[in-house]
Amino acid sequence: MTLASCSKPCMSRISRDLASSPHNVQINGSVSSNMQSLRHASTLSSLKMPHVAVIGAGIAGLRCSDVLARSGCKVTLLEARNRIGGRVHQEETGGHLVDLGANWIHGTKGNPIMSLAEKTGTKVLDPEEGGALYDASGKRRTDTEAVQLSGKIWEMVVDAFKYSDEHSATIDSRISLYEYFQEKLSKAGNDKQECNDLLHEAQMWGPFVGDPVEKQSLKFFFLEECIEGENVFVASTYKNILNHIGKTVTATDKVDLHLDTEVVHFDTTAAGGVTVTTSTGQKSTFDQVVITCPLGWLKRNHSASFTPALPPRLSDAIENVNYGRLEKLYVTFPSAFWLRAVDKSNSEDKENFPVFTHFHDPSYIDHPKTEAWNQSVVSLAHLPSPCAHPTLLFYIYGPCATHAVNLVKDLDPHSERYNAVLRVFAEPFYSRLPTYSSSDPACTPTSFLMTQWQNDRFAGNGSYCNFQVGLERGDEDIQVMRAADGLTERGIWLAGEHTAPFIALGTTTGAWWSGEGVARRICNVYGIKVPEDVALSMPEDSEEDGLKKDLDGKKADAANMNGLAI
């Protein structure tokens, strides 16, 4: 670990990661130490174009396949599902297309996914500041109170980012972000009610990482920072972005795509390649293999799926980093009743209910007292035309998400029982929105759709990586998975959001960068030039202390932070 504090200005961990990342070989003008460790690189570079197998057709796999294929490599893409996209996927509910996976673009400055959104005509929503707040008793607090509570928590979040970045080496791994908040509040002299309100508000961090704030590591909180710029909601879904990313795979003959093909084993004991075995027993041998399976899949399968076994440090890294539990629930109504004027006789009473609503951990719902069931809800009726529809999107995380998924795991989506179960879960929340009436047909949902990533083994039974209390070497673990030392020498590479640069962990951008980075590294080994239009889209690293300069003096901005990792 590098010392986090020093007597003179030093590069932040984020900046150092960008400078040293093996994804960054062209910016730095040299290959990474990982590449230098490939003793057989000079031999490989004199061989014919390699045959590369890419495992998984998510964003990382699609981008990797695209770069390799257009560089002249022979590419076979093996995908366990019957579709491309992985955790980026859309389905219809109530006649409207919605994203079951990523909803956001995390940071707009220098973000290749934002560039793709613009290129494909994908509409986005830059959410306004503020939101509605319902306290633990179910009472809506005033807008002034909501802004004050949110503002104070985001100020503390920004402070926590800086503190974690500067002092990570000396922070006790057992300390959570929640405990950091508690300590700050106790020293600030807030009264008991305000402290209680603020700690309830702090639980809004759960949906950003997929697990409770009480489990978020303070030591590695800096790893949750994302790209500079706004975080925008993808209003017209990721459909066009996904189609564009996948066009080399689906619309050309450059990639040999095999859907419904689950790979279960990787063998490098024989000389001259990597042999992969599918669930049906079929074996094929390739020069190089890129595994883009989610971290959750690696955690469940790494001990049995590799011959010989993975290097111990790599296995430890896979085990060490946590895998989140974020789910989404879409509830669609005949109309957006929450936007109706409360008093129709009052022309000043306009449809001004905000995009975001936060429900504090509800005392009015029976649930384990040790589990926070707070909800972050987005009104999709606020989306720009023609994307708007009368749907509420619930972000459900941690134990509450596990509970909700277990309720519907054996039920057919949109069946009467399925809808009834989800209505019981969601009604105590949406029934508190403006103009709700149980007897009003406009307030009766017409459709429910719940994601079940925790029940999806191809998704690794969860959402994306996060950094939990007790983690000792989280930044090193990410770098170990990214570099895959001891594995690349065998011809196996790892890609995916869990191997991304720190500023893009857990995001579609991170998956894109990781897939592109591995493709570049393979091409470098074989002396292959990548296409000129494959520009490395990582942000410039010109600031000596980029993260701290970005955070110092910044006013907490809930709109800017919303959707940080969801």
Q: Residue 362 sits in a domain of what CATH number?
A: 3.90.660
Check residue 48 and give its pLDDT.
80
Residue 256: strand, helix, or coil: strand
The CA–CA distances, whole Å, from 316 to 299, 302, 303, 389, 485 equal 10, 10, 11, 45, 13
- pLDDT, tens only, 396-436: 999 999 999 999 999 999 999 999 999 999 999 999 999 99
- pLDDT, tens only, 530-550: 998 885 545 443 333 333 333
Domain shared by 48 and 75, yes or no: yes
The residue written with tokens 């093909």 in the block is: 261
Tokens of 201: 């508000």
- pLDDT, tens only, 232-263: 999 999 999 999 999 999 999 999 999 999 99
Any domain includes 164: no
Any domain includes 186: no
The closest of 328, 395, 407, 331 to 367, measured between CA atoms, is: 407
Boundary residue ending a domain (397, 426, 459): 459
What phi-psi label fits residue 127: left (phi over 0), alpha (psi between -120 and 50 degrees) or beta?
beta
Check residue 21 and give its pLDDT.
63
- pLDDT, tens only, 332-344: 999 999 999 765 5
Check residue 494 and give its pLDDT.
98
Check residue 311 and give its pLDDT.
97
Domain shared by 409 and 488, yes or no: no
Q: Percentage of the chain surpassing pLDDT 90?
A: 80
Q: List the CATH number of the domain containing 304.
A: 3.50.50.60
Measure the CA–CA gap between 9 and 42, rounded to whole angstroms. 40
* pLDDT of residue 31 exceeding 50: no
The answer, as to whether pTM is greater than 0.95, is no
Check residue 15 and give its pLDDT.
65
Any domain includes 524: yes
Domain shared by 383 and 442, yes or no: yes
Check residue 19 and give its pLDDT.
64
- Runs of H (alpha helix) within 442-545: 474-483, 508-525
Residue 353, class by beta-carbon neighbours within 10 Å (0-12 exposed, 13-18 middle, 19+ buried)?
Answer: buried
Yes or no: say if 561 and 231 are a contact pair by the CB < 8 Å rule: yes
The closest of 110, 180, 193 to 541, measured between CA atoms, is: 110
- pLDDT, tens only, 132-171: 999 999 999 999 999 999 999 999 999 999 999 999 999 9
Measure the CA–CA gap between 101 and 99, rounded to whole angstroms. 5
* pLDDT of residue 97 exceeding 70: yes
Check residue 147 and give its pLDDT.
94
**What contacts 385, CB < 8 A, 6 or more positions away?**
none
Helix axes 416-430, 398-408, angle to 10 degrees: 150
* pLDDT of residue 551 exceeding 60: no
The bridge status of strand 51-55 relative to strand 74-78 is: parallel
Tokens of 399: 């134990």
Any domain includes 353: yes
Any domain includes 103: no
Check residue 481 and give its pLDDT.
98
With residue 17 as reference, give the H or E element that holds it.
helix 13-20
Lowest mean pLDDT among 4-8, 322-326, 440-444: 4-8
Domain shared by 316 and 331, yes or no: no
Boundary residue ending a domain (410, 439, 459): 459
Domain shared by 296 and 347, yes or no: no
Measure the CA–CA gap between 286 and 266, rounded to whole angstroms. 11
> Does 352 or 385 have the greater pLDDT score?
385
Domain shared by 286 and 352, yes or no: no
Domain shared by 292 and 352, yes or no: no
Mean pLDDT in the chain? 88
Q: pLDDT class for 4, splitting at 50, 70, 90?
A: very low
Boundary residue ending a domain (459, 481, 500): 459
* pLDDT of residue 94 exceeding 50: yes
Check residue 191 and give its pLDDT.
86
Measure the CA–CA gap between 62 and 56, rounded to whole angstroms. 8
Check residue 129 and give its pLDDT.
76
Domain shared by 397 and 443, yes or no: yes
Any domain includes 423: yes
The residue written with tokens 């400078």 in the block is: 19
The residue written with tokens 């257009």 in the block is: 70
Check residue 226 and give its pLDDT.
87
Q: pLDDT class for 347, splitting at 50, 70, 90?
A: very low
- pLDDT, tens only, 211-238: 999 999 999 999 998 899 999 999 999 9
Domain shared by 482 and 404, yes or no: no
- pLDDT, tens only, 161-198: 999 999 999 999 999 999 999 999 998 877 889 999 99
- pLDDT, tens only, 505-515: 999 999 999 99
Q: In what order do the strands lie in the sheet with 51-55?
A: 255-258, 74-78, 51-55, 288-291, 492-494
- pLDDT, tens only, 453-488: 999 999 999 999 999 999 999 999 999 999 999 999
Check residue 558 and give its pLDDT.
37
**Domain count of the chain?**
2
Cα dihedral sign, 163-165-171-173: positive
Tokens of 484: 């895959």
Domain shared by 291 and 342, yes or no: no
Any domain includes 162: no
Domain carrying residue 348: 325-459
Domain shared by 307 and 418, yes or no: no
Residue 101, class by beta-carbon neighbours within 10 Å (0-12 exposed, 13-18 middle, 19+ buried)?
Answer: buried
> Does 509 or 5 have the greater pLDDT score?
509
* pLDDT of residue 363 exceeding 60: yes
Any domain includes 175: no
Domain shared by 397 and 426, yes or no: yes
